[in-house]
Amino acid sequence: MPASGPGEIEFVATEGGARLCVRGEWTLAHHGTLAERVRALSAQAGAGEAATVDVDGLAALDTAGARLLHALLGPERIAALLADETALPRERRALLKAVADALAEPPVPAVGTQGSALGDVLADTGEAMVAFWRHLAGITGFIGLILETALRVAVQPRRWRMTALVANLERTGLDAVPIIALLTFLIGAVVAFLGATVLQNFGASIFTVDLVAYSFLREFGVLLTAIIVAGRTASSFTAQIGSMRANEEIDAIRVLGLDPVELLVLPRVYALLIALPMLTFVAMVSGLVGGMLVSATTLDISPVLFLSRIQDNVGLIHFWVGMAKAPIFAFLIAVIGCLEGFRVQGSAQSVGEHTTSAVVQSIFVVIVVDAIAALFCMEMGW
C-alpha cells in the first residue's frame, strides 16, 4: 500500500541494480521538505545512475511534486516511467506527462547567417510583389463574382432590390451633391484665377476660358468627384459591410440561404454607377460656373462671352471623354469598398484598418486609371 505522510525518497543499491524508491505524498503542502530531500539525494554519488524507479509507495501527486520528480529523475527516466503503464495510474501519468512537456527545453534556434543590405531589399521587394499579386487576384476574383451574380439576377426581375438601390442612390448621390458642387466651384475659381494671373502677362487672358473648360470637362470634373466619392462612399461601404461581418450578420445571411453579394454588393454597385456620372456632371457645371465668376470679376469676360467661347472652341468630345471615365471609376470604387468590408476579421480595429485601406486603394486606383486613360486618349487624338 502507498505510504501516507510527507514524501520520501531513498536510493537503494542492490545486486539486481540500482533502484530509487519514491513514497508518500508529493504535494505542495510538503514542497519545502521534499525540495531539501531532492537536493540532498541529487548530491549523492551514484544517484544519477539509478536504472529503475519504484513508485509503488507514492500516495499523492500534484504539479509541485511532479516538478520535483522531474528535477530528480530527469527527462529520460520520466519518459521510461511514463512508458510503463503499470507503474502509475492513468491520471498520474497524464499529470506527470503534462509537467514534463511544459518543462521540456525549447529547441535552440539555428544561428542564421548575417544578411546583406541588397538581399534584404530584394526580399522585401519580393514579399511586396507577392502581396500585391494576391491582392490583385482577390480584386479580380471579386469582380468576376459580382459580374456573375449580376448576370444571374438580371434575368430574374423579381429578385431586383429596388428599395435598397434607391436608398443607396440617395446616400451616395443626392447627399453628396452639396459638397461636390461647393468644392468644384471653389477649385474652378482657383484654376481661373491662376490662369488669368499667368496669361494676363502675355495678353492672352481670353484663353482662361479654354483652360477652365478643358480642365473640368476632361479631367478635374470626374477626377475630383471620384476622389471625393472614394473618401466618402468607399469608406461607408466598408464600414457598413465590415460591421455586419464583425457582428456575424453576413454568416446569418448565408445561413438563411441568401447571397450576400446579391443582397449587399449589387445595390451599392448599381447605385454608384448611376450616381457618379450625375455627380460628375454637377462637378463640371459647378467648376465652369466658378471659372465664369472669376472671369467676369477679374478679366471682364461676361458670362455670355464665356459660354460662347466654350461653344466655339471646346469640342463636345472633351465632355464625353470625361463622362466616359465616371462609370469605370464608380465600379472600381464600389468593388474596393465592398471587398474590404468582406475582409474584416471581426473587431472594431479591423473595421477601422480596412476602412482606411479602402479609401487609400480607391484614390490610388482612380488616379492610376485616370493617368492611363489620359495617355490613351492623347495617343488616339481624342
Angle between helix 316-342 and 266-298 (nearest 10): 140
Q: How far apart are CA 350 and CA 265, in angstroms?
A: 20
Residue with the three cell numbers 491582392: 135
pLDDT of residue 1: 47
Q: How far apart are CA 48 and CA 207, in angstroms?
A: 99
CA-to-CA dists, residue 158 to 155, 161, 163, 165, 381, angstroms:
9, 8, 12, 14, 45
Domain spans of the chain, in order of start: 8-103, 145-380
Q: Could you say which DSSP state residue 202 is in? A: G
Phi-psi region of 46 (alpha: psi -120 to 50; beta: other; left: phi over 0): left
Radius of gyration of the chain (CA): 38
pLDDT of residue 55: 74
Ordered strands of the 17-26 beta sheet: 8-14, 17-26, 52-61
Q: Which three cell numbers stand for residue 8?
A: 520520501
Q: Select 8-103's CATH number: 3.30.300, 1.10.357, 3.40.1340, 3.30.750.
A: 3.30.750
Q: How far apart are CA 19 and CA 21, in angstroms?
A: 6
Q: How buried is residue 278: exposed, middle or buried, by Cβ count under 10 Å (0-12/13-18/19+)?
A: middle
pLDDT of residue 53: 74
Closest CA to 42 of 5, 64, 9: 9
Q: How far apart are CA 240 and CA 243, in angstroms?
A: 5
In the chain (382 residues long), the average pLDDT of successive 10-residue segments reads: 64 66 78 79 58 73 80 77 75 82 67 68 88 87 90 87 89 90 92 85 82 88 92 90 86 87 90 93 93 86 87 86 92 92 83 88 92 87 78
